């Protein structure tokens, strides 16, 4: 879907690869839809078929397997409501880069568990990824902060207790 901003992620990752030619980068996009072929054409046009992969729609378990084998999570959306995928990425301990749109700022701790960037800007994607690449020792702390944030803010038992306290006896 256009609102997911995948083209900006693709272009940002392609620029990152250009700036770091010796670095092995894999950008995997999960999901399917009307933009699959146009995005595949962008990837081919950039000469990044070895770097950027469109995995298509996957069942939840497969998505979690990919998260478990990933090192960074990128959400380049132009519009996002709740962004529950951010909770999943943080629960997996991944450092997150996401655009500052819709409900995204409520789903992460900016500067602690995630780097927020402006939407629709491939250069911002590249810069945020490069900052993480330049500081790999920060990744574990970002991952731990994200996990703590999700446990504190999105845990079912915690949320149920908060709701019960607000509703009263």
Task: Quote the pLDDT of residue 116.
Answer: 97
CA distance 18 to 144: 30
Q: How confident is the model at residue 153 (pLDDT cuts 50, 70, 90)?
A: confident
Residue pointed to by tokens 């729609």: 57
Rounded Cα distance, 39 and 35, in Å: 6
Helix (H) or strand (E) holding 86: helix 84-91
Q: Fold for domain 2-167?
A: Rossmann fold (3.40.50)
- Is residue 133 within 8 Å of residue 109, measured between CB atoms? no
52 has pLDDT over 80: yes
Using DSSP's 3-state secondary structure scheme, residue 110 falls into: strand
Q: Tell me: pLDDT of 164 over 90.
A: no
pLDDT at position 166 over 90: no
pLDDT at 152: 86
- The mean per-residue pLDDT over the stretch 147-161 comes to 82
With cut-offs at 50, 70 and 90, classify the pLDDT of residue 156: confident
Q: What average pLDDT does the segment 75-98 reach?
A: 92
Q: Judge whether residue 155 has pLDDT over 90.
A: no
Q: Provide the pLDDT confidence category of residue 50 given band limits of 50, 70 and 90.
A: very high
Predicted TM-score (pTM) of this structure: 0.89
Residues 96 and 146: beta-carbon distance below 8 Å: yes
99-152 pLDDT, tens digit per residue, is: 999 999 999 999 999 999 999 999 999 999 999 999 999 999 999 999 999 988
Name the average pLDDT for the chain.
93
Angle between helices 139-153 and 156-167 (to 10 degrees): 40
Q: What is the mean pLDDT of residues 143-162?
A: 84
């Amino acid at each position: 879907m256009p609102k997911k901003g995948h083209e900006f992620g693709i272009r940002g990752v392609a620029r990152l690869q250009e700036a770091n030619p010796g670095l092995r980068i894999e950008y995997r996009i999960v999901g399917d839809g009307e933009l699959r072929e146009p995005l595949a054409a962008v990837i081919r046009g950039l000469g990044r078929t070895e770097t950027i992969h469109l995995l298509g729609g996957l069942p939840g378990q497969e998505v979690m397997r990919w998260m478990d084998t990933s090192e960074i999570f990128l959400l380049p959306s132009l519009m996002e409501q709740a962004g529950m995928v951010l909770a999943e990425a943080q629960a997996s301990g991944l450092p997150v880069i996401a655009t500052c749109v819709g409900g995204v700022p409520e789903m992460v701790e900016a500067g602690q568990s995630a780097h927020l960037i402006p939407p629709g800007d491939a250069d911002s994607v590249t810069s945020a990824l490069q900052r993480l690449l330049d500081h790999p020792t920060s990744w574990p702390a970002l991952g731990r902060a994200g996990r703590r944030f999700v446990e504190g803010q999105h845990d079912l038992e915690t949320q149920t207790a908060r709701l019960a306290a607000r509703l009263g006896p």
